[in-house]
Amino acid sequence: MTIKTLELSLGSLDALGSLVALADAGWYQDTLTGEYYYYDTTIAQWYIYSAGYLYPLAWVPPSLVWEPSPTPKIDVNVGDVLRLSLSYRYRGPAGKGFTLYAAVCNNNKTGEPAEWSGYTSSKGIWPPGSTTWKDITDTLDIGMKTGLMSHSGEDGAVYFKIEHYRSPAYYDAIHVVPAAGEFSELKIVSFARV
């Protein structure tokens, strides 16, 4: 069995599970409608101002981003273990548990990933408490099982997530080595004249 490593990064995640804001805190005006919006960076929440009140807008997870693999494509075969070296940032209370999940998927490069059945892994994580962003690294192993041969010769992508917040999907991350016959322990067991 061989362990092969791929390094991935989720980005920043705060105690409420929000990705780092793309905007500064404050008021914004929609130039088309004239409506005012307020963005609160402490909880990464947008509000709409109407009739003297602030109404929270529903949070919609960002669509999946596809990026090239951060490492050269890794050849995998049945019995190998793909070790993901992961990084993300956290701020919030200690003791809150999250689920870290990773999957191998089709090399689509667009849209939602089509996960390869059985090629996933997950574990619980408990980031340390911090009021400032804390960089965290971790690893997660995905075993390459016998069903991998149904993807023989294919390239695969890999992504991970914490709860429902995802890293980019990294395409061209792995290549499944085509199945080939192997021989071992070659012996002559007897001789005879015929």
Q: What is the pLDDT of residues 9-68, one digit of tens each?
A: 545 444 444 433 455 778 888 777 788 888 777 666 778 888 888 777 765 555 678 999
Distance CA 50, CA 167 (A): 35
Domain boundaries, the chain: 3-16+63-176, 26-56
- Residues 152-158: what's their mean pLDDT? 92
What pLDDT sits at residue 9?
52
- Given a contact cutoff of 8 angstroms between Cβ atoms, the answer to whether 187 and 83 are in contact is no
Mean pLDDT, the chain, integer: 81
Q: How far is CA 37 from the centre of its chain?
A: 31
| 189 half-sphere exposure, CB direction, 13 A CA radius | 2
The residue assigned the tokens 């805190």 is 25
Higher pLDDT, 3 or 104: 104
Site of tokens 């191998």? 104
8 Å CB contact between 26 and 40: no
Give the per-residue pLDDT at 142: 95
pLDDT band at 6 (very low <50, low <70, confident <90, very high): low
First CA to last CA distance, the chain: 43
Assigned CATH for 3-16+63-176: 2.60.40
User: 56 vs 14, 47, 64, 184, CA distance in Å?
Assistant: 18, 4, 24, 66
Q: Is the pTM higher than 0.75?
A: no
